[in-house]
Amino acid sequence: MTRIEEFVKEQAEKHGRDRNSLMPILQAVVQSERFLSEEAMVAVATELDLSTADVFGTATFYTFMDTFPRGKNIIRICKTITCHMKGKDAIVDTLEDMLKIKLGQTTTDGKFSLLQANCLGWCHKGPVMLINDEVYPEITPEKAVEVVSKYLKKG
Amino acid sequence: MEKKIKKVDLIFGKVDYLDILDKSLQRSRDEIILDVIDSGLRGRGGAGFPTGLKWKFAKNEEADQKYVICNADEGEPGTFKDREILTEAPEKVLAGMALCGYCIGATEGYIYLRMEYNFLLPQLHEQIDAFNKQMKERNFEFTIFIRSGSGAYVCGEETALMESMEGKRGEPRNKPPFPTSQGYLGKPTSVNNVETLVFALMIAKEGPTKFKEMGTFDSRGSKVFSVSGDTPTPGIYELELGMTLEQFVEEFGDGDTKAVQVGGASGFCVARKHFKETLIGFEGIPTGGSMMIFNSTRSMYNILHDYLEFMEEESCGQCTPCRVGCQQLLKGIEAVKKGNKQPSYLEELQKLSDTMRIASKCGLGQSVPNPFNSIINNFREEIIY
């Protein structure tokens, strides 16, 4: 059994093998691996006795379930109107410069992916940035660099 | 001067939620449901279905299992009140769920939390565990679980939410059957917004009269508003319903307000000339709480473009009017702006948006015409030039 298969099995035992458990299991895989590999999806399908197409179909519906590799840290910048008005473009530009990648890309060392997201629910404190599950409201380009540097040090 | 907007503190104020529950459990279900109906409380997520009726329908179903779902998939651009409620008054939300569970006869409740709010999970898990224990000690059979979304706006639609909880793509179902008869796992289910559940709890505490006295005939009580955009005082405010947009802008505007988007990307854009006669509420323009204020430096084209891009990305793609409609509206205004299409093309696009209203399967596609038509009708020249 590979590492992923074992992980999926553990999760299936924890959450149950009903179809209802599909989302929590997929979410756990994304949480630990940052994306859903083919191997992981096949393993989930096997554990839950679903067709792989069903698992793939469900996974690809959701924005936060990537089916291709992402960086260890996923940076999401809110692009919806109020954050747009409060200057999210400057944050994107600054981080693109800092990480030497474009929106949607992952750094070559696999540490960061830089993405935009639809409304993150902090419109009164825009612009806002989400790194993995951590939220950083009212950021400026300087603050964004500072925060990302911290993650850079953590590795 | 017109009367000031009345600020209210029903949602965030501390209460002895266990005492409210204990007293409610002594009363009959019908009595509590009647109180909620009588209060005039309507769903606070945006659609505004009378809460008491929803509970009554769910209660009247015969089933071996029923469910309560707390809809915390707050995705509408411009709303952030549910996050605040879950942070500041989570125990009132949980108690509201238990109250609903008692009334409809459900023993399980689920919170569907959007993944963007995952940072709330550790504290919520703790609070839920403590609450479940308290219910057990009371010999009241009700257990709360929490489920996460994965970044899909459409999952705020109640049937899409249940599909997602069942481990499927979050595509809305056909209605009827309504969730109160066949919801989660095919069982009767009451899906209520976070804020609605807290109001229901407060109505159980104080009786329907105090709530009913506030607001207007169709929009009783108060409501939590999320205020953002060009305002010196962005934030969360619980206000009595029934104010006009003029009163609202006087309180929150920056003195140069050109337009207010009421109800988020799926809501309506109101231009300055209509502020006076526009009432915020179900008889005027309803809102799930989102109030985005724009001043005269903002381009309404950019705003509409942003909304359409949002809808185009978030459309689940299941039904053609919404999937193709969103794309074409977005492409259409871009073409008019660039001069590749005549300004009269906007009328054709408005016909398309009317079709979307009639033919789309769920609220997402049906409401795209709201921002589209209201912005084009009010700011046509800004879209063209």
The answer to whether the CB atoms of B116 and A130 lie below 8 A apart is yes
Q: What is the architecture, at CATH level 2, of domain A3-61?
A: Orthogonal Bundle (1.10)
- The pTM assigned to this predicted structure is 0.96
- With respect to residue B220, please indicate whether it lies within any of the assigned structural domains: no
Q: Is the pLDDT of residue B98 over 70?
A: yes
Does domain A73-154 bear CATH number 3.40.30.10?
yes
**Backbone angle region of B313, left / alpha / beta, with phi > 0 → left and psi within -120 to 50 → alpha:** alpha
Residues B42 and B173 in one domain: yes
* CATH at B173: 3.40.50.11540
Q: Which of A38, A104, A98, A35 has the alpha carbon at shortest distance from A72? A: A35
Q: Confidence class of residue B6 from pLDDT cuts 50, 70 and 90?
A: confident
Residues B347 and B209 in one domain: no
pLDDT digits (tens, 9 = 90+) for A55-85: 999 999 999 999 999 999 999 999 999 999 9
Q: State the pLDDT at residue B145.
A: 98
- With respect to residue B294, please indicate whether it lies within any of the assigned structural domains: no
B234/B225 Cα distance (integer angstroms): 10
Q: Which of B213, B232, B262 lies at the terminal end of a domain, its last residue?
A: B213
pLDDT digits (tens, 9 = 90+) for B344-356: 999 999 999 999 9
* Among A62, A64, A80, beta carbon nearest to B306: A80
- With respect to residue B208, please indicate whether it lies within any of the assigned structural domains: yes
Q: State the pLDDT at residue B2.
A: 43
Q: State the pLDDT at residue B3.
A: 47
Cβ-based contacts of A82 with chain B (< 8 Å): 77-78, 228-229, 292
Domain ranges of chain A: 3-61, 73-154
Query: In a 10 Å sphere around its CB, with 0-12 CB exposed, 13-18 middle and 19+ buried, how is residue B347 labelled?
Result: exposed
Buried b (16+ CB within 10 A) or exposed e, B127-148: bbeebbebbeeeeeebebebbb
Angle at B34 between CA B184 and CA B279, to 5 degrees: 85
Q: State the pLDDT at residue B273.
A: 96
- With respect to residue B107, please indicate whether it lies within any of the assigned structural domains: yes
Q: Which of A16, A69, A84 has the alpha carbon at shortest distance from A44? A: A16
pLDDT digits (tens, 9 = 90+) for B294-315: 999 999 999 999 999 999 999 9
ipTM above 0.90, yes or no: yes
Helix/strand/coil for B139:
coil
Cα nearest neighbour of B304 on chain A:
A81
* CATH at B310: 1.20.1440.230
Q: Which of B354, B359, B350, B341 has the alpha carbon at shortest distance from B378? A: B350
Q: Which of B180, B198, B213 lies at the terminal end of a domain, its last residue?
A: B213
Q: Does B227 touch chain A (CB under 8 A)?
A: yes
Buried b (16+ CB within 10 A) or exposed e, A108-117: eeebbbbbeb
Cβ-based contacts of A23 with chain B (< 8 Å): 147-148, 150, 164-165, 167
pLDDT digits (tens, 9 = 90+) for B105-119: 999 999 999 999 999
CB-CB neighbours of A91 under 10 Å: 25
- With respect to residue B73, please indicate whether it lies within any of the assigned structural domains: yes
Structurally, how many domains does chain B consist of? 2
Task: Provide the total of helices (H) and of strands (E) in chain A, helices listed first.
Answer: 7, 4
Q: State the pLDDT at residue B1.
A: 35
Q: What is the mean pLDDT of the segment spanning B209-237?
A: 95
pLDDT digits (tens, 9 = 90+) for A126-147: 999 999 999 999 999 999 999 9
Q: Is the pLDDT of residue B212 over 90?
A: yes
Cβ-based contacts of B121 with chain A (< 8 Å): 133
Residues B204 and B309 in one domain: no
pLDDT digits (tens, 9 = 90+) for A26-48: 999 999 999 999 999 999 999 99
- Show the domain range for B207: 17-213
Q: State the pLDDT at residue B46.
A: 86
E-strand stretches of B173-267: 189-193, 222-229, 235-240, 257-262
Which residue is listed with tokens 């830089």?
Answer: A114
Q: Which of B213, B231, B254 lies at the terminal end of a domain, its last residue?
A: B213
Scanning A86-115 for CB atoms below 8 A from B yields: none
Q: How many CA atoms lie within 13 A of A104 on its CB side?
A: 0
E-strand stretches of chain A: 73-78, 112-117, 129-131, 134-136
Cβ-based contacts of B110 with chain A (< 8 Å): none
